[in-house]
Structure 1
Amino acid sequence: MKFKLVASDLDGTLLSSAGEVSVRSRAALAGVQAAGGVVVLITGRPSRMVLPLAKDLGLSGHVICSNGAAIHRLPGGEPEDLRTLSPEVLRRAVPALRSACPDLGLALEWGSGMQAETAYRAAPDSVSDVLEVLDAGHPVLKVMARSARLSPAQLTELINARCGDELHASLSGAPFAEIAARGVHKSAALARLCAGLGIRAGEVLAFGDAPNDLPLLSWAGCGVAVANAVPEVLALAAEVTLSNDEDGVAAVLERLLVAGKIGSGS
């Protein structure tokens, strides 16, 4: 069986510590496409950051952004599937979270922009309460949460404990917790995309490094961790490759391409 689709996380996985895609990694991704395989960037980053990178890499097909809340078609970047956080849910959840964590700072994110609170980021355009801007009509895909008192991991645990019926918080390695609608995560989005493409989970090769990649690596036919991944990801992965700074993704792709195990066909 060949892997027909390669899904890779960005930060800490495909991207180097300098935030770049190396020449070697670019060549490996191009090789996957030349063999008839599909490359999907799958990340917590918003589309405004991912679409320019996909264009620069010459990718076709789709990208999955905001931890699975958005699927965009390439090359134009049109949104095909958005799983937004409803204002009603946020108006219920935010006060409950503030009562449990008084120094909570939030930022709303949608594909083309974001709005932060002063408690999240002191900036001229920050507001005192993001709930005040919900009526602006932005399709909120993700909420980022910070606390000086709680670590991102502790904050993630608190959010899931208090609001897990309606929200899902996860960790990407960034210095904040990331909140999405319940049921929204990378593997759910990739499963929907693959169903539309006629690709089975066993035909998917996935790469990751952080806790928010765990469902993705579990779902894929082969989940690969880079050497710099967190212990939970290293323990779960079917294979551990070199680190992101050593072109770990490219190393696996090169080996499988030579073996004829990536591409279209059976």
Structure 2
Amino acid sequence: MNPATAGNSIRMLATDLDGTLLRSDGTVSDRTRAALRAADDAGLLIAFVTGRPPRWLDEVIETTGHLGVAVGANGAVLYDLARELVLRAHFLQPPALAELARDLRAAFPDVQFAAEYGHGFAAEPGYVHDWQINPRADRQGRPIPPPVVGELTEILAQPAVKLLAKDRGADADDFLTLAGDVIGERASVTHSSSFGLLEIGAPGVTKASGLADLAGSHGISAAQIVAVGDMPNDVPMLVWAGTSYAVANAHPAAVAAAGAVLGSNDEDAVAVLIESLLAG
């Protein structure tokens, strides 16, 4: 049954990736792949709404087979997965990046910065990576340049879709609250980590704004969207969507924002949800 013709009139499923659609080991189950294919066949638009930049979406394409449009970098990038093409992007400009970094470092002396450009990444020498920053190549086999290491003035000299601020010893939630007071309305700030790593984007840019942009281009209203997430960066999307769920392993902020709670990501919660939507 097509969900658009069923009583719920749902036309889009918006799902986060890490911790939500993906299992804890980063894999996608056979059940989830089958559910995504069935949803696509039924006319349900699937949107991956993620903090990941475009270069980290190729592996998801390979494991899920999904070739639609993703909302990446917490709403800053609208990315065509099939064509590997950035359709729209919202940037923080160098003067704003420099000002934010200056004020955050004054408030948090141990903070280290990195810049996410969308198709590239740069970081200060003291910014310690917690995972591989770049895949070695894109889906066409073309090498992806390694991340740049440079001084703050160098890495913030070009527009960025995200400024990353890391204080490894800080509590993630406390760091977010305190940094939000410093940043004010000059930028959007969130986190999706278990440690002190903030993701800072252009003012007003969130997963909700990026999803609204995508939905609007398809003539889909918030009431026709089901959203699923697990972390604070999902909260705006979960609040905005007409129907929203947190997975059982979600951060308390996501649980509070969602309308209901599903099973965990390791229990294929998104696949179970899709199956229930298609069953009508």
Q: Aligned letter for 1:258?
A: A
Q: TM-score, normalised by structure 2?
A: 0.86
CA RMSD of aligned residues (A): 1.9
CA shift in 2, pair 1:122/1:82, >3 Å: closer
- Tell me if the contact between 2:22 and 2:265 (Cα under 8 Å) persists in the aligned partners: yes
Structure 1, unmatched stretches of 5+, are: 260-266
On the 8 A contact 1:106/1:116 being kept in 2, the answer is yes
The CA distance in 1 between the partners of 2:74 and 2:173, in whole Å, is 17
For 1:134, the aligned partner's letter is: L
Alignment of 1:235 with 2:252, yes or no, is no
Displacement of 1:122 after TM fit? 7.1
The Cα offsets for residues 92-146 of structure 1, whole Å up to 9 and x where unpaired, read as 12111111111111111122221111221279976453322333x4x41112111
Q: How does 1:56-95 map onto structure 2 within 5 Å?
A: 56-95=63-102
- In 2: Cα distance, 1:174 partner to 1:108 partner: 20
Alignment of 1:30-179 (within 5 A): 30-121=37-128, 127=149, 129-135=151-157, 137=158, 139-175=159-195, 176-179=197-200
Q: Which runs of 5+ in 2 are unaligned?
A: 1-7, 131-145
Q: Is the 8 A contact 2:122 2:150 kept in 1?
A: no
In the alignment, what sits opposite 1:26? 33
Take 1:128 and 1:193, find their aligned partners in 2: how far apart are those partners?
Answer: 35
Q: 1:127 to 1:258 in 2, by over 3 A?
A: same
Matches within 5 A, 1:173-212: 173-175=193-195, 176-212=197-233
TM-score, scaled to structure 1: 0.90
Aligned positions, number: 257
Change in Cα spacing, 1:99 to 1:77, as seen in structure 2 (3 Å) is same
Cα deviations across residues 59-87 of structure 1 (Å, max 9, x unaligned)?
23310110001001231121111001110
1:79–1:125 Cα change, 3 Å:
closer
Amino acid at match of 1:169: V
Q: Deviations over 1:173-221 (max 9, x none)?
A: 3531111111110001111111111001111011101111111011111
How far does residue 240 in structure 1 lie from its aligned partner after superposition? 1.1
Give 1:235 deviation, angstroms: 2.6
Q: Could you tell me which amino acid in structure 2 is paired with residue 140 of structure 1? A: A
